[in-house]
Amino acid sequence: MVAIIRRELRSYFVSPVGYSFIGFFLVLNGLMLLVTNLITGSPAYQFTIGSMSTWSLLAMPLLTMRLLSDEKRLRTDQLLLTVPVSVGQVVLAKFLAALAVFGGGTLITVIYPVALSFFGDLAVGRIIGAYLGYLLLGGAFIAIGIFMSSLTENQLIAAILTLAALALMMWILPGVRDTFITASTVSGIVFASVVGALVALLVYLATKNVTLTGVTIILFAGAIVVVALLSAQFFETLLLDFLQWFLLGDRFDVFMTGVIALSPVVYLLSFIGLFLFLTVRVVEKARWA
């Protein structure tokens, strides 16, 4: 596994990929610093990290797009999968290598708060918390990127899928959440119906069985009616609760307050674990296809 980490790290820096990532990352960070701290003369560096948490997703595909797609394209996966190393170790090694480069880039930015400390009082606790949250969040971004790169042989497609997924979770879903902040029972019922319809569609596509599809629809409709009669407020928060599962940014925000709470840490770690697990499944499934 160490061998794969070393090879990946080497591969980042013998090609322009590693330098492009770090360069792009530092330019973004410099911009955020300029807007958040320099122009306003504020020492609150944690807000620069906060801005980075949403904007640095633009740089992430550079790190992850080729991790697995290139192995498939060049058929080097035939080496990795026929040596006594498990798929889990391969995926984890690649994740750790990408995380190391991301962590390296982040480490360079520590210069900024250190420089700022000469000109004002820093909220050291909040900045450390924000950095920790940012590393975990970056890990989650990387996990999604690796997953996307396991789906295709084409780096560009992997990059676009990664950007789409990250933009959805960091930009679009928070917007949707804000729109439905004054949630109503109706929106929850509509949402539950849409989910029911999607499940029924999946059942139909998987089995082509009309009866089974009908039963699914009836079950869902029945459940919605029963729940609506028994406890209407369940639907009031349903949509928000559902969205909440996917809002990575909300978990990060907790760290910015300087509090290292257990639940966002566990959430982000399990998010990373889930996507690495899914990646392993995708790679293993290719053997059976």
Partner 1 sequence: MITVKNITKRYGDHVAVNDVSFEVNEGEVVGFLGPNGAGKSTTMNIITGYLSATDGTVEVDGHDVLEEPNEVKRRIGYLPELPPLYGEMTVTEYLRFVARLKKAVDADGSAMERILELVGVTHVRERLIGNLSKGYRQRVGLAQALVSGPQALILDEPTIGLDPHQIIEIRNLVRDLGKGHTIVLSSHILPEVSAVCDRIIIINRGQLVASDTTENLAKRLSGGSQYLLRVGGADNAVQAAIKGVTGVSGVSSRGVVEADSVDVIVDFDDGADPRRAMFTALSKADLPILQMKPVDVTLEQIFLQLTTREGGGSN
CB 13 within 8 A of CB 95: no
Does 3 help bind partner 1 (rule: CB under 8 A)?
yes
| CA atoms of 186 and 184, how far apart (whole Å) | 5
Does 208 help bind partner 1 (rule: CB under 8 A)?
no
CA 4 from chain center: how many Å? 23
Q: Which of 31, 38, 85, 132 binds partner 1 (CB under 8 A)?
A: 85
CB 129 within 8 A of CB 46: yes
| CA atoms of 61 and 156, how far apart (whole Å) | 9
In which residue are the tokens 């307050």 written? Answer: 257
Does 9 help bind partner 1 (rule: CB under 8 A)?
no
| CA atoms of 55 and 201, how far apart (whole Å) | 36
Does 14 help bind partner 1 (rule: CB under 8 A)?
yes
Tokens of 217: 């629809």
Q: Among 108, 97, 112, 191, which residue's Cα sits nearest to residue 145?
A: 97
Q: Which of 27, 35, 79, 108 binds partner 1 (CB under 8 A)?
A: 79
Q: Among 49, 45, 40, which residue's Cα sits nearest to residue 138?
A: 49
| CA atoms of 63 and 109, how far apart (whole Å) | 18
- Name the one range near partner 1 by CB under 8 A: 8-16, 21-29, 159-167, 185-193: 8-16
CB of 89 to partner 1, least distance (A): 10
CB of 199 to partner 1, least distance (A): 26
DSSP structural state of residue 169: I
Does 153 help bind partner 1 (rule: CB under 8 A)?
no
CB of 5 to partner 1, least distance (A): 11
CB of 225 to partner 1, least distance (A): 41
The count of residues interacting with partner 1 (CB under 8 A) is: 25
Decide whether 82 or 263 has the Cβ nearer to partner 1: 82
Decide whether 84 or 175 has the Cβ nearer to partner 1: 84
- Name the one range near partner 1 by CB under 8 A: 4-12, 158-166, 227-235, 244-252: 4-12
CB 285 within 8 A of CB 163: no
Does 38 help bind partner 1 (rule: CB under 8 A)?
no
For residues 49 to 78, the per-residue mask of contacts with partner 1, x marking binding by CB under 8 A and - elsewhere, is: -------------------------xxxxx
Q: Among 126, 86, 107, which residue's Cα sits nearest to residue 276?
A: 86
CB of 68 to partner 1, least distance (A): 14
Q: Among 179, 190, 180, which residue's Cα sits nearest to residue 228?
A: 190
Q: Among 51, 33, 55, which residue's Cα sits nearest to residue 114?
A: 33
In which residue are the tokens 């209407």 written? Answer: 232
Does 83 help bind partner 1 (rule: CB under 8 A)?
yes
Does 15 help bind partner 1 (rule: CB under 8 A)?
yes
In which residue are the tokens 């998010």 written? Answer: 271
Does 82 help bind partner 1 (rule: CB under 8 A)?
yes
CB of 64 to partner 1, least distance (A): 18
Binding region for partner 1 (CB under 8 A): 2-4, 6-7, 10-11, 14-15, 74-86, 287-289
